[in-house]
Amino acid sequence: MDKPIGVIDSGVGGLTVVSELIRQLPKEEIIYIGDTARCPYGPRPEKEVRAFTWEMINYLLTHEIKMLVIACNTATAVVLEEAKEKLSIPVVGVIHPGALAALKATKNDQIGVIGTEGTINSGAYHRELTNINDNVTVQSLACPDFVPLVEKGIFFGDVACKTVTEGLKPILATEIDSLILGCTHYPLLAPLIQEIAGEKVEIICSGDETAREVSALLYHKDLLYTGDRLPNQLFYATGSDSMFEQIAKQWLLLDEVTVEKIHLT
């Protein structure tokens, strides 16, 4: 079907999912909205997260998307089930795929989850993991200082190293052997997180699994694009388009990225 996939996130973090979508589904067109002006969503009340998320969804619906990917973990925790009920198109979140990947990876059933305050306080990963396997022990930790680093494009260096080291201390003191990056911003810090966590801890980024789930749904619902046109990827940001463009080029390995600034309110 020649319609785009819509992707929403609180900021640039969802580009980690887009990167996998482009790699796994190179013919598909993607329309992405990053609510960079109001990022992060993690500390916000659930009512605000719901309102902001629906503003992005409603904007994408005007583009006749064939599928919605909620690439923000906080928004997934708050809105996913509601969106599935209300929308006539398939809706995919990032929590279930991330949980599945961690359950495949763990050898001692000790799984760690780091995310924003909103995601961790929702208990969404804990519920998802234990619903699938009630033998696992889940250690959850909010790391609120990580998203601001990513939104500023600080992925390495002394400041990033100090922030990530301090943030991970409590969870690395446990027996976890796999760590879910429960925020789509965090994979941009994945090399640093892996270095600090050490080889014994497998880092789980939900982007890979989410893209696989999207691919499988498109196939089973006969929504895959099978033509030969070159895909046109569209990016919208509510905040700085120049910072978004810089990070998008770096993460997506593209020479040119067109970012349009929009207002959702």
Residues with Cβ within 8 Å of residue 110, at least 6 apart in sequence:
136, 137, 139, 174, 175, 176, 177, 178
Residue 208: what pLDDT? 82
User: In this structure, are residues 218 and 22 in contact, taking their beta carbons and an 8 Å threshold?
Assistant: no
User: In this structure, are residues 103 and 96 in contact, taking their beta carbons and an 8 Å threshold?
Assistant: no
Residues with Cβ within 8 Å of residue 87, at least 6 apart in sequence:
57, 61, 68
In the 8-state DSSP scheme, what is residue 30?
E
Split at pLDDT 50, 70, 90, the class of 81 is: very high
Domain ranges of the chain: 5-93+208-261, 95-206
Tens of pLDDT, residues 35-73:
999 988 989 999 999 999 999 999 999 999 999 999 999
Q: Packing angle between helix 241-252 and helix 15-24, nearest 10 degrees?
A: 40
Residue 265: what pLDDT? 75
- Helix locations, 62-198, DSSP H: 73-86, 95-105, 117-122, 124-132, 146-151, 158-172, 190-197
- Looking at domain 5-93+208-261, its CATH architecture is 3-Layer(aba) Sandwich (3.40)
User: Is 259 a residue whose pLDDT tops 80?
Assistant: yes
Residue 250: what pLDDT? 83
Provide, rounded to the nearest whole percent, the portion of the chain with pLDDT above 90. 77
User: In this structure, are residues 121 and 99 in contact, taking their beta carbons and an 8 Å threshold?
Assistant: no
Residue 142 to residue 113: CA distance in whole angstroms: 8
User: Is 80 a residue whose pLDDT tops 90?
Assistant: yes
Domains 5-93+208-261 and 95-206 share a fold: yes
Tens of pLDDT, residues 222-246:
999 999 988 989 999 999 888 889 8
Q: What residues are annotated to the active site? A: 72, 183
In the 8-state DSSP scheme, what is residue 210?
H
Residue 78 to residue 240: CA distance in whole angstroms: 26
| The CATH fold of domain 95-206 | Rossmann fold (3.40.50)
